[in-house]
Amino acid sequence: MNERFNIENVAISITNLEQAVDDIIKKAESCEPAYVCVTNVRALYIGNHDTVYCRILNNSYLTVPDGKPLEWYAHITGLNNVKKTSGPDLFERICQLSESKEFTHFFYGSTPEIITKMKENVLKKYPKLKIISAISPPFGSAQELANKEIIHQINTLKPTFVWIGLGAPKQEIFMDLIINQIQSSLLIGIGLVFEYQAGTVIRAPKWMQNYGLEWLYRHIQQPKHINRKNYHRNFSIILLILKAFFNKSRVKG
């Protein structure tokens, strides 16, 4: 298992986009089943307040830091090689590499309209990409979706990658429920990437990404997601960053 650093109870992989892609490709080539968590501030907060979800994040093949605040925390603690490793960037890089390899892809999540448009747009960008299935599941809990039918479909088709867009924490719980019955595929939870690829949600400009403001840009587009919990989660990671900074300053002093 890769090296990790802890933000409270959650163990985040010491990685960056380039390293994560390399590790994922190696794992895919080994044909060993595993799952990857793409963890942002929201998922981090849930993991630190839910022991089951924390276990899922900590037992993954990789739990990559999807968010500038996670990167900032790592840098304050001396881990300067840790960089933000976002779901959209991870997806794009692996699709690029897949065109020259025999990798196959299975999309699972979102609505029928979004997943159809996503597949169409992805194939426009990567015409040689091998997409062997794209399924929008019925509405239901992770436990309801993690049934024998989807496990059979994955094991029959044997995709290299199963990209799961159910949103956190549902997609991680789903992966945890089925991973022990998966024969060879690598499961990666990527949440909003389905909407980005379909074009129904536009990703924040680079300058907002660099300043850790992607959440704000999303809320401008989707105001229904604005609630007190989101601000509380963002504030909690700011407090952790400040605490790490002052602890480091005290040690130096």
Give the torsion sign (CA, 58, 62, 68, 74).
positive
| pLDDT tens digits, 54-67 | 999 999 999 999 98
Confidence of residue 208 (pLDDT cuts 50, 70, 90): confident
Rg from Cα positions in the chain: 18
| Over residues 83-90, mean pLDDT | 97
Residue 228 has pLDDT above 60, yes or no: no
Interval 191-201 mean pLDDT: 93
pLDDT at 129 over 70: yes
The answer to which of 8-17, 196-205, 234-243 has the lowest mean pLDDT is 234-243
Confidence of residue 44 (pLDDT cuts 50, 70, 90): very high
* For residue 250, pLDDT beyond 60: no
How many domains does the chain fold into?
Answer: 1
Least confident stretch, 24-33, 74-83, 186-195, 241-250: 241-250
pLDDT at 224 over 80: no
Is 73 in contact with 7 (CB distance < 8 Å)?
yes
pLDDT value for 226: 54
Q: What is the pLDDT, as a whole number, of residue 252?
A: 58
Q: Quote the CA–CA distance of 39 and 87 in Å, as a whole number.
A: 9
Q: Which residue has the higher pLDDT, 247 or 85?
A: 85
Domain that holds residue 78: 4-252
For residues 220 and 64, give the distance between their C-alpha atoms in angstroms, rounded to a whole number.
Answer: 26
Which neighbouring-strand residues pair with 63? 37
Give me the DSSP letters along the chain: ---EEEETTEEEES--HHHHHHHHHHHHHHT--EEEEEE-HHHHHHHTT-HHHHHHHHTSSEEEE-SHHHHHHHHHTT-TT-----HHHHHHHHHHHHTTS--EEEEEES-HHHHHHHHHHHHHH-TT-EEEEEE-PPS--HHHHSSHHHHHHHHHH--SEEEEES-TTHHHHHHHHHGGG-SSPEEEE-TTHHHHHHTSSPPPPHHHHHTT-HHHHHHHH-GGG--HHHHHHHHHHHHHHHHHHHHHHHHH-
Locate 72 and state its tokens. Answer: 């900032």
Supply the mean pLDDT for the chain. 91
Tokens 């002052």 correspond to 246
Amino acid (1-letter code) at residue 154: I
Residue 45 or residue 204, greater confidence: 45
Q: Which of 42-51, 100-109, 157-166, 210-219 has the weakest average pLDDT?
A: 210-219
Task: State what percent of residues in the chain have pLDDT above 70.
Answer: 89
Residues 128, 72: contact at Cβ < 8 Å? no
